């Protein structure tokens, strides 16, 4: 199943400056680059020391990174970024944009900070449904990914009832998680501090996590309680997430 997040080697300039002129069809030529970023400080995210280099872009690909410099004559547009940092786009893995991102196609509060991938955490709140239809309809600047939300799933079956599901109700919840995963969700997300997810017993979360475990991606817990921790493919009880790196 297609995922809706592309974790590519997309580089961005992480500071504000006037935008380069847009490249039109008339500008397309046999030149080596559409855009050359000159004199920037490259932080590549690989743990290596930062270094000064020029970056050449052709179409939607970075095709050259040169410490010896690239010629502006080889590009349709040349942008001097000597005072700026060039880095991979940042990932915001906890954003409440799951049902509103379509209203903000440029997502400037994210992109102006250098964030190019946004994950709708879905530990609480509503989930777009059907997920694949909503995700496929998006025409937005950043990459966007979604989790299967435990809170949303529980509300569809039990509403806000403070009780455990019976056998049929639990199966209905399993089915919703299964469908969400098949539609491209990255995993299961639960917020055990929030109503109604905090009404769930550990066994309920485990059963839903088993469904998410069929996906390659790990589940993602969201809890301030001593209830669960994350491992590839599921959740289990007995770990204080406040002492971990999980959120």
- On whether the CB atoms of residues 186 and 5 are closer than 8 A, the answer is yes
Asked if the model's pLDDT at residue 228 lies above 60, the reply is no
Range of weakest confidence among 17-31, 47-61, 64-78, 130-144: 17-31
* Banded pLDDT at 1 (limits 50, 70, 90): very low
More confident residue, 120 or 215: 120
Range of weakest confidence among 9-18, 28-37, 62-71, 232-241: 232-241
Query: Is cis: bond before 196, omega within 30 of 0?
Result: yes
Is domain 90-243 annotated with CATH 3.20.20.140? yes
- On whether the CB atoms of residues 56 and 123 are closer than 8 A, the answer is no
Residue 173, pLDDT score = 97
Residue 38, pLDDT score = 96
More confident residue, 189 or 235: 189
Interatomic CA distance for residues 57 and 32, integer angstroms: 9
Residue 144, pLDDT score = 93
**Mean pLDDT across 219-242:** 34
Q: Same fold for the domain at 18-83 and the one at 90-243? A: no
How do residues 166-178 score in pLDDT, each as one tens digit? 999 999 999 999 9
* Banded pLDDT at 6 (limits 50, 70, 90): very low
Asked if the model's pLDDT at residue 229 lies above 70, the reply is no
Residue 123, pLDDT score = 87
The share of the chain scoring above pLDDT 70, in percent, equals 75
* Banded pLDDT at 33 (limits 50, 70, 90): very high
The domain spans of the chain are 18-83, 90-243
Domain 18-83 fold: Urease, subunit C; domain 1 (2.30.40)
Residue 24, pLDDT score = 53
102 Cβ contact partners less than 8 Å away, ≥ 6 residues apart: 134, 137, 138, 139, 140
Interatomic CA distance for residues 246 and 219, integer angstroms: 11
- On whether the CB atoms of residues 51 and 67 are closer than 8 A, the answer is yes
Asked if the model's pLDDT at residue 68 lies above 60, the reply is yes
| Summary mean pLDDT of the chain | 80
């Amino acid at each position: 199943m297609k995922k809706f997040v592309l974790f590519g080697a997309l580089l961005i300039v992480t500071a504000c400056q006037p935008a380069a002129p847009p490249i039109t069809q008339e500008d397309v030529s046999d030149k080596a680059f559409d855009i050359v970023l000159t004199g920037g400080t490259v932080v590549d995210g690989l743990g290596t020391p930062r270094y000064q280099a020029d970056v050449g872009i052709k179409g939607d690909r970075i095709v050259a990174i040169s410490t010896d410099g690239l010629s502006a004559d080889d590009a349709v547009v040349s942008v001097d970024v000597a005072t700026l940092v060039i880095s991979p786009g940042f990932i915001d893995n906890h954003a409440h944009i799951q049902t509103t991102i379509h209203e903000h196609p440029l997502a400037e509060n994210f992109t102006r900070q250098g964030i190019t991938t946004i994950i709708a955490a879905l530990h609480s709140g509503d989930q777009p449904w059907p997920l694949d239809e909503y995700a496929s309809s998006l025409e937005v600047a950043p990459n966007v990914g979604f989790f299967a939300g435990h809170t949303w799933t529980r509300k569809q079956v039990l509403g806000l009832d403070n009780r455990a599901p019976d056998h049929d109700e639990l199966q209905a919840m399993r089915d919703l998680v299964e469908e969400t995963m098949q539609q491209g969700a990255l995993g299961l997300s639960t917020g055990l501090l929030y109503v109604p997810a905090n009404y769930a017993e550990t066994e309920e979360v485990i059963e839903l996590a088993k469904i998410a475990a069929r996906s390659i991606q790990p589940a993602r817990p969201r809890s301030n309680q001593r209830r669960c921790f994350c491992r590839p493919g599921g959740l289990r009880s007995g770990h204080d997430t406040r002492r971990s790196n999980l959120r």
